Amino acid sequence: MRGTSRLAFFGWLVQTFPCVSSFREDAIARRSEGFSWQHLHIIAKADGDDDWWYPSRQVPKPQNPDCDSAVDLLKNMVDADRHFEIVLGAVLFIAVLAALGSSCFLIGGKVKPRPPGYWTSRSWNPFHDDFRAEVDVTMELRDTVQQLFDMTTRKEAMGIGRDGSWATHKSFRVLQVTRVENGKLWTDYVRFRRNISRTQATIRRMEKEGAPCRAELKRTQEALQAIESVHEHRNGAASVKDFIKSLHLDTGRNERLMFHGSPGIGARHPATGQVLFPTQETSPVYAIKSAGFDDRLGSVKGMYGSGTYFADMASKADQYAGQYNQPGYGSIGERATIFLSRVTLGCPYKTNQSLEQLRRPPCVQGHFDLNLFWNDEVHIGRPWREKGVPLCICSHERFDSVMGDFCIDGQMKQYREFVVYEKQCYPEFCVTYERMP
């Protein structure tokens, strides 16, 4: 109660209980110090009783029943006021905690993910990620990247196959390595990565589903073992192992360092020899550095449908890095570009047949989108209605990526390929190399 409320209460007390004839001045003077039973000194004089009563001093109270009623009423009101203050304080405390929690949540949602510690570019403001730079790290990483390229080049497979029959080169020489430090792309990538379940958590959920997921679970485990085997092979070189370790990849979500080839300035049409990208700004390489990978731009006519394609071998990514010599002059001496990219594969769907027209992975029970049933624009492999996979509408959890195995539609392929979607990849390193004999 405030001071005026207490004065009003004392006045009402005197009028209601005639036995209370006076209050000591210091009791009223202390009203601003808090209405506390221990601090409030009330001296009541009952009719016909010469004894003063000090409740705070534990002096025996008078036996007059009217005075007892007045004192008990005062004590009850003091206790009620104290209870009210406690409840009010608790409510205010909870409200403050809720406000702080909401503020932290809102502020946390606006704070941008921190870039890797080895980046040289960053924003001093944690709420901004508007920085972009391409840092030359050739002196630091050229030898390591060269060794990585050598370890992931299959010379016997170069120059053959549908995608690489034009190649006459057999090796690569790394010329330049740059690091793409793009704040906005990094923010998008990290936030998307956080939303991908940890691989083992998805595996456990599939195991709980039992029979409906048994076949897909087996293929998924085979895919994970294959991915791990390839990356364990890279660890055979100490410098490559240290380099990959320094990236602090989120292996729990199956984040890997993979290859993506893309045409750069001066790339030519393989049949006519026409220059497709006369300037740097018109080339796919520049677009990827500036805006990142965009799976919406991929063709649904690819072997595994629309998406962003990656390889675990440099010689496979090289097939998509463009042709630069005039037709008929071979590929030796050409300079091309491959991105060494962070890719969060999550839990992959392993396939041994083409998936043309696919736009997203199937569910963990192997169900593909129903619209594929009516799609007759399949030029690679069998039509969808003859693939032997269920086509339906479902709400099951989906795989995070697609892994095309070596054997596709009964034919052996030279390489595996991986397809991811949306913001599952970040083009961290841009490698310029020369095609060598």
Domains in the chain with CATH codes: 3-107 (no CATH), 132-436 (3.90.228.10)
- Per-residue pLDDT tens over the stretch 6-17: 555 555 555 555
Q: Which pLDDT score, from 0 to 100, does residue 297 have? A: 76
Neighbour count for residue 138 (Cβ, 10 Å)? 15
Most confident of 107-111, 208-212, 298-302, 346-350: 346-350
Quote the pTM value.
0.75
- Of 160-174, 308-322, 326-340, 379-393, the range with the lowest mean pLDDT is 379-393
Question: Does residue 314 carry a pLDDT above 90?
Answer: yes
Q: Which pLDDT score, from 0 to 100, does residue 56 have? A: 45
Question: Does residue 69 carry a pLDDT above 60?
Answer: no
pLDDT band at 79 (very low <50, low <70, confident <90, very high): low
Q: Which pLDDT score, from 0 to 100, does residue 208 have? A: 92
> Are 405 and 227 in contact, with CB atoms under 8 Å apart?
no
Question: Does residue 63 carry a pLDDT above 60?
Answer: no
Q: Which pLDDT score, from 0 to 100, does residue 89 have? A: 76
Mean pLDDT taken over the chain: 83
pLDDT band at 5 (very low <50, low <70, confident <90, very high): low
Q: Which pLDDT score, from 0 to 100, does residue 74 have? A: 56
Greater confidence, 295 or 22?
295
